[in-house]
A and B are shown apart, each in its own frame.
Chain A
Amino acid sequence: MFEAISLRTLLILIPALPLSGAILTAIFGPAILRRQSHWPTVLGLAASCICSLMLAVKWQGQLPQDGKAGQGVEEVVTLWEWVGIPQAYAPSPATGLAAIAATENHAPLDFRIDVSLRIDTLTATMLVMVTLISTLVAVYSVGYMHGDEGYWRFFSYLSLFVFSMTMLVTVSNFVMLYVFWEGVGVCSYLLIGFWYRNPAAAAAGKKAFLVNRVGDFGFALALFLMWMTYGSLSFHDTDTVAGVLGARRFAGELSFVGGGVGTAICLLLMAGACGKSAQFPLHVWLPDAMEGPTPVSALIHAATMVTAGVYMIARCMPLFVAAPQAAWVVAWIGAGTALMAGLIALTQFDLKRVLAYSTVSQLGYMFLALGMATLGGVTAGMFHLFTHAFFKALLFLGAGSVMHAMGNVIDMRRFGGLRHRLPITHATFAIGCLALAGIFPLSGFWSKDAILAAVHDQAHATGASSYRVLYGMAMGTAFLTAFYTFRAFFMTFYGPQRIPEEAGHHAHESPKVMWIPLVVLALFAALVGPMLEWTHAFAHWLQYTPSLAMMAQAAGATGAPAAFHWDVAVTSTAVAVAGVALAAFLYLGHRREVAALQYVFRFGWMNPSEAPSDWESASPHAAAVANVTRPGGHPTVTGHCPSDHPSGSHGHEHGPGLLALPARLLKAVGCGLWSLLTLPLWLGQFVSPYQMSHSKFFVDEIYDVLIVGPLRGLAHISYVLDRVLVDGLVNGVGGLPVRLGGWLRKSQRGFVSLYGLLTVVGMVLVVVVSFWWGV
């Protein structure tokens, strides 16, 4: 039975099952299935997941057994021809592009878009990951979305989303990739704005869609340029034309384009990937997208959709290898985003936002790894994508479980000490946090380590200092990751138990249908990494992807990607443990965050005369934290420990607590240097580092001023012009008969003799005029 199903059937079934699930839910959901609307989706996704696993196993059987490095294996199933324009493009020999085979005989090229599905190891990996996580998320959603008025709508969108995503990773053509790229964007718009009656959710959906458009514009330009350069938009070779990523090109028969054009293509592709994968400067949509239902956050914004950009860059890796500058930019964007998002996540109070920024940060890691443009880098990036999907989905679903119990309150200042109330969520969340922080031996440790090792290798191989800086940034981000992850964890699950009144009687563990996916994901998050990494199975498996096989060839006979470095592993573990320890120090027991951070970053130690009450009242975030006590309504269990702040006026003596000694040392050693470095920040009191982080480096505000504001102004001008000029003209023309009629209407006096008189006058006029002109 297992053999009976061909690869082709499986490949078609994997996207077809979610699509049919979406259609069935949409048709039968509103009237017939109602509260049972999840069945088509859950069953379709589960079946699709089984198909994906079968496909991966079958594909494993088809791989060459000798294990020789650098052998790309792919199979393409062409379903039908979507577009076919014969002789659409005649590249002139003057362009001299060795990338186009047809220039040899100067034959014009056909423009063809086939709907073709492909299978190689990269696609199989993505399919397994996407369908597995979507199935678990769909099961979880049955509990989470229970009783929502848009129940069937949610599951229909969810299924449609999985269909788009599976198609995105399966198609073998850039145009089809673009189509499903947009499909994923639309589904994310629908799901983020799922609760469209909430203006914040509607705005977040709109923002996600618009920001993605910016990136997609770059992607579209990349496609145009690629068509002009390569004369094809297929991944694979067709009968007549060599594909962009086809076997002929890998065999060295045709070249990949480097130089200016190649770099431009790669940078434009990267713009698209930045939009979808939420990299700086297009990362702003992802944190806002947390307005959507939490399963959506888990599915779209952690596990699957944001990985589309990473997948695309991994797929196009040969292009990036040919244009190393572009790869370098990718690495810097990735590292910069990772660091920036990590810094922002330090101070967020919204649990889901912390996770969102950590997603941005981890995606930055993946970009950094891909930017190495080495086999080790790409496999490490994809490996991190794979493991990250599991533990980030786990964390988001755990956050959803907390939210579910807390009556949709997600502000970490308002709850705490939930470990007794939510024991399963607590345990699984802990595993997710450990994995995210990169603590041995959970998944995150292995994948993050692979990335660090890849960067390390590249730094050694090239000797370029920029890679060493990147390595340092990555290491710093590892510290930040461990810190903010455990900050959120401790704030949520430890400390005195506090439950907001919105929770009501809901403050208990989630139903079984919700915590079983959590446990399954926790198992995966714990085991996937060590299992795959210990044997290098993942890297070996991925090497059979045609796009990566070439690099494997270049890497040489060893074929072993990014050997395990003990020094890197030890350093990263030490850094992560330090992050966890700092978080534990600051957040376990008494919450010293505000006191400590303010003391350090608002320069209280530089200015002893500054009364603490001043910076208590002057700083908005302190006020915000102080406000926590009010809505909670429990004055005894507040964000401030009474021993920390017995009263506002005496806070200074006690405020820094244990941090006083290091602070004094800091004062003695680094006062001058530190103040020089931070002089601009210090001068503007409102941009203390704490607040920089808390307000997300003002990126949204800068965009508001630079882009949104002018555009809105332009839109307003257009609106006024439209209203005054265009509408004025149209309404004027339309109003002319009305006004004329209104004027003539006055003659309607209802007096027959007057009508008679007017008739006579008119008749006389006609007679006179006709005589006058001799008509």
Chain B
Amino acid sequence: MSDTAILQNHLFVGAVLFALGLIGFLVRRNVIVMFLCVELMLQGVALSLVSWSRYHGDWGGQMLVIFIITVAACEAALGLALVWIMAQRGGSLDIAIWQTLRERDQAPYTDREVPEEDRSVEDWPQLTPAGVEPVHPREEDMYRSHV
């Protein structure tokens, strides 16, 4: 396998890690998960650095990665401490509870309403007792297009 191909593979993995982390950061609302996603992005970048370093035969990139890991460790310690405090204060890990920090005259972000179930409809589907062929209403078969 040529060096270029190895580089391509490594870069691909790094990009995938970065993209996954990014997507996770953007779509998840649990603070800890978001934090992990950030770490994931960081590792994606670190992986690209290492692969470029290897490709060029230069130790600079790997040194940088070691620095990154060190900083990331510190960051993780601080970040988790913050997350812990935020969880204690807010009583939740949902990042959305901290939108009280928004500008005063801005409307809050609200989750999309899940429609309440209509309790008045008590017509629950029922399983047919096993071994008995259900009664097939003929007229229903006439217009039912799918099962």
Contact = CB atoms under 8 A, between A and B. Distances in A.
A740 to B, nearest CB: 15
A750 B102 contact: yes
B22 A746 contact: no
Nearest to A757: B26
A62 interface: no
B27 A751 contact: no
B103 A745 contact: yes
Contact of B96 (A751, A756, A760): A751
A748 B103 contact: yes
Interface string A733-775: 0000000000001101111111011001000000000000000
Contacts of B99: 749-751
A756 B99 CA distance: 14
A752 B109 contact: no
Contact of B95 (A745, A748, A753, A757): A753
Interface of B: 22, 25-27, 29, 34, 95-96, 98-103, 106, 108-109
B102 A751 contact: yes
A751 B102 CA distance: 8
A763 to B, nearest CB: 10
Interface bin, chain A: 10 to 19
5 contacts: A746-B106, A749-B99, A749-B106, A749-B109, A750-B100
Contacts of A748: 102-103, 106
Kindly name the residue among A746, A750, A753, A756 whose own CB sees the greatest number of chain B CB atoms within 10 A.
Answer: A750
Contact of B27 (A745, A750, A752, A753): A753
B108 to A, nearest CB: 8
Contact of A753 (B26, B100, B106): B26
A753 B102 contact: no
A750 B108 CA distance: 8
Contacts of B109: 749-751, 754
Contacts of B108: 749-750
A622 B99 CA distance: 80
B95 A752 contact: yes
B95 A749 contact: no
A88 B38 CA distance: 80
Nearest to A750: B102
A753 B99 CA distance: 11
Given A748-B106, A753-B95, A760 B101 contact: no
A187 B91 CA distance: 75
A757 B106 CA distance: 18
A418 to B, nearest CB: 73
B102 A760 contact: no
A594 B19 CA distance: 106
A746 B103 CA distance: 7
B22 A760 contact: yes
B26 A750 contact: no
Contacts of B103: 745-746, 748-750
A269 B20 CA distance: 94
Contacts of A760: 22, 26
Given A745-B103, A750-B101, A750-B109, 16 more contacts: A746-B103, A746-B106, A748-B102, A749-B99, A749-B103, A749-B108, A750-B99, A750-B108, A751-B99, A752-B34, A753-B26, A753-B27, A753-B29, A754-B109, A756-B26, A760-B26
